[in-house]
Chains A and B, each alone.
Chain A
């Protein structure tokens, strides 16, 4: 707890640097990731991330130092090469993109490991810490490193800001972009470069192995909350920032822990929660919605049963018992009782000792459902040429979803018919 308060009071300038750094890195990756995600090339980021390892190691071998500028240049070169490679393989052979990505990713990474282990065995005292690029260490983001990595991500954010419109079009509709004369090829190049840059800056905090998650996961999470690109980018950045801060915190309280995996766990947790609870698209939300519709259908079917009973004895406001309703339709007892109570509460039914009675509102609603059912049956027989004895089941569904607007057009199209295909009266008000 003490650690927690100390950390989040941001008194310690070192902590401030680390936090600012991690957040910047996470945000840049999240924002660029949104565009690659929408272009359905999410796994490209994974390939780039693994492929920067040989670049970092070679830069060290060549320069002999861990100066971040050299390492970034090295990482940039091999990351970039890996993308060219994937494109070449797809274009010039019968291999498909997934194979090209997997091949490039694993071979570049293998080469990186080979060089890294060779450096480690060479006894070069300077090399310690190079392996932090594997799983990341946010806490080592201080001084010169912070300035270099931070500036790269600021440049990256600026470029995205300036080209936001163009990148949007590229992600959504490349063909249209081409048609209105946008330099699509050039923009692709920009996006690729941005992806490589985002990876290169992110590896210090997350490491090459899990960097892909920083590109893909925030975008995937954000996509569940919105259909608007600006909102999506903003949310992805926010999710990225949260995971960045937690990474920095973990690096602070548990120095032995690699930070990358923790950052990834946090962002994945956000994503999983989004998949389940996000409004409209979340999995739980959809189930909840289904249940709501089930209830609505049940209630409408109860009112319909009342109306049918009323039609039979021409007594719409007569008292009905549960047994009467069951004779109309195979209701499940428990659900039927629940539905009746709900209808009483919402004023469609009244209940007294002799049973349940429709209110005027209830009668109108039941009548509308019956009307829609019969109109739809007629529509199916007239326009879809479905035999009259086959239309009932279909109409059982559709009667519940027709909007008043479609209702009006349906009436007009069928020319206000008086009977349905089974010769039953269509009840207008």
Chain B
């Protein structure tokens, strides 16, 4: 039962991350995701400190606010300060993350958060962290409810805004011409990223969230050229990552989140090398083939 709870939590997290991540890599915003996932830390700590509990609502608010502030700051330094985008991202998130770690150290003992949790989460504790109602009924692991609801929100968001997200990702200036508010959809997507990041934070930590945001969609992108299929493949890969990650971690007795990212990386590597259409190995063979064809006299 314990294993199933953990794998289920991991899958829920991996699937929500992968879905929003698909849009991020196509928008060439993977590093913004990296920045947001780091930068929500101070928001979480402050929310923790003020509310004094692990209630999800304050945490979501705190982190959501920080997520939006981060995207805003990156754009502010870029536009007003003329700072190049990559540096603007690098300066913004390191600063906020550092602030978060210091807050944790300062409030050590007062809040139930530590540096390890920040780095690689506590997915192993999912089965013992139960949601018990006021009447004493045990409802099962709390994290499952949180990540389940977030997944539902993400799916609803993609379902409702499918056309708008698709078009603003592919061709924002055309989207603007036909009257779609590209800024609005940009911030909505960033909001979804913040939400997913926070919900996944407890389970897999700030940095490994990035692996789940980027690796499964990047892998799926190499497997298909159809966007809907890419989303489906991303979900499947997310679940495989969760299952294999759990067993790898228990085999060598290490962090489950660390193992999940390792597995995600390995799957990517295999696809990168051997994908039937995009793989390096096949591509080399194909280009050799076309070269010999070209050399033939016409």
> A residues touching B (Cβ–Cβ < 8 Å)?
37, 40-43, 45-46, 50, 88-89, 92-96, 98-99, 101-103, 105-118, 121-122, 134-135, 209-210, 212-213, 215-217, 219-220, 223-224, 256-258, 260-262, 264-265, 268, 271-272, 275, 281, 283
For B138, the chain A residues whose CB sits under 8 A away are none
Q: Which of B95, B120, B259, B280 contacts A213 (CB 8 A)?
A: B95
Q: Which residue of A lies closest to B252 (CB)?
A: A118
Complex Cα distance, B156 from A309, in Å, reads 68
CA distance A257 to B213 in the complex (A): 31
Indicate whether B91 reaches chain A with its CB closer than 8 angstroms: yes
The complex places the Cα of A43 from the Cα of B31 at a distance, in Å, of: 8
Q: Which one of A108, A109, A217 lies within 8 Å of B90 (CB-CB)?
A: A217
Q: Are B254 and A101 in contact (CB under 8 A)?
A: no
**B105 & A102 in contact (Cβ 8 Å cutoff):** no
- With known contacts A107-B265, A109-B261, A111-B262, A256–B105 Cβ distance under 8 A: yes
> Which one of B82, B84, B105 contacts A258 once the chains associate, using CB atoms below 8 Å?
B105
* Closest CB in chain B relative to A388 CB, distance in Å: 35
Binds A, one of B158-166, B215-223, B226-234, B290-298: B215-223
Cβ-defined contact, B82 with A281, below 8 A: yes
B272 within 8 A of A: yes
Residues from chain A with Cβ under 8 Å of B257 in the complex: 110, 113
What is the distance, in angstroms, from B43's C-beta to the closest C-beta of chain A?
16
Q: Are B211 and A107 in contact (CB under 8 A)?
A: yes
Contact between A213 and B208, CB atoms less than 8 A apart = no
Which of the four size classes fits the interface of chain B? Answer: 35 or more
12 pairs, CB–CB < 8 Å, chain A vs chain B = A46-B34, A89-B272, A103-B268, A105-B34, A107-B211, A111-B265, A113-B119, A113-B258, A114-B252, A114-B255, A217-B91, A223-B83
Nearest-Cβ distance from residue B75 to partner chain A, whole angstroms: 13
B155 at interface, CB cutoff 8 A? no
Q: Are A110 and B102 in contact (CB under 8 A)?
A: no
Q: How far is the CA of A88 from the CA of B268 in the complex (A)?
A: 13
The B74-123 residues at the A interface (CB cut-off 8 A) are 77, 80-84, 86-91, 94-95, 97-99, 101-102, 105, 108, 115, 119-120
Binding site for A on B (CB under 8 A): 25, 28-31, 33-34, 77, 80-84, 86-91, 94-95, 97-99, 101-102, 105, 108, 115, 119-120, 207-208, 210-211, 213-215, 218, 221-222, 248-249, 252-255, 257-262, 264-265, 268, 272, 278, 280, 283
Partner of B98, one of A43, A107, A115, A265: A265
Are A275 and B25 in contact (CB-based, < 8 A)? no
Q: Are B272 and A114 in contact (CB under 8 A)?
A: no
Residue in A42, A108, A262, A272 whose beta carbon sits within 8 Å of that of B102 in the complex: A262
**Bound: A275/B88 CA distance, A:** 11
Residues of B within 8 A of A224 (CB): 81
Report the minimal beta-carbon distance from B238 to chain A, rounded to whole angstroms.
Answer: 14
Q: How far is the CB of A32 from chain B (nearest CB, A)?
A: 14
A110 contacts B25, C-beta separation under 8 Å: no
CB pair A102 B34 closer than 8 Å = yes
A219 CA / B91 CA spacing, docked (Å): 10
Let me know if B255 and A103 touch, CB within 8 A.
no
Contacting residues, chain B, for A122 (C-beta < 8 A): 253
Given contacts A118-B252, A135-B101, contact A283 B258 (CB under 8 A): no
Closest Cβ–Cβ distance, residue B190 to chain A (whole Å): 15
Measured between C-beta atoms, what is the minimum distance from B223 to chain A in Å? Answer: 11
From B33, B115, B210, give the contact of A135 (CB < 8 A): B115
Given that A95-B222, A107-B215, A109-B261 are contacting pairs, would A42 and B268 also be in contact in the complex, using a CB cutoff of 8 Å? no
Q: Looking at the assembled complex, report how far the CB atom of B22 sits from the nearest CB atom of chain A, in whole angstroms.
A: 11
A210 touches B105 (CB 8 A): no
Cα distance, A272 to B99, chains bound together (Å):
14
Whether A101 contacts B97 in the complex (CB less than 8 A), given A114-B254, A220-B83, comes out as no
Which of A42, A113, A134, A264 is the most central at the interface, judged by chain B CB atoms within 10 Å of its CB?
A113
Q: Are A265 and B99 in contact (CB under 8 A)?
A: yes
Known: A93-B222, A121-B254, A213-B95. A105 touches B210 (CB 8 A): yes
Closest A-B pairs by Cβ, 8 of them: A110-B261, A107-B265, A114-B258, A113-B258, A213-B94, A106-B211, A118-B254, A216-B90
Tell me the minimal C-beta distance from B215 to chain A in angstroms: 5
CA distance A89 to B265 in the complex (A): 12
In the complex, chain B residues whose CB is within 8 Å of the CB of A268:
91, 94-95, 98
Residues in B neighbouring A264, C-beta threshold 8 A: 94-95, 98
Name the B residues within 8 Å of A209 (CB-CB): 97, 101, 119, 207
Name the residue of chain A whose CB is nearest to the CB of B207. A109
Task: List the A side residues contacting B278 at CB < 8 Å.
Answer: 93-94
CA distance in complex: A88, B252 (Å): 30
Instruction: Indicate the member of B81, B98, B221 with the most A CB atoms within 10 Å.
Output: B98
Cα–Cα, bound, A283→B265 (Å): 41
A89 / chain B contacts, CB cutoff of 8 Å = 272
Please name all residues of chain A whose beta carbon is closer than 8 Å to the beta carbon of B255 when the two chains form the complex.
113-114, 116-117
Per the bound structure, the CA–CA distance linking A107 and B252 in Å amounts to: 17
Complex Cα gap A112–B208 (Å): 11
Q: Are B82 and A113 in contact (CB under 8 A)?
A: no
Chain A residue numbers with a CB within 8 Å of B101 are: 135, 209-210, 258, 260-261
Bound CA span A201–B129, Å: 40
**What residues of A have a CB within 8 angstroms of the CB of B283 in the complex?**
92
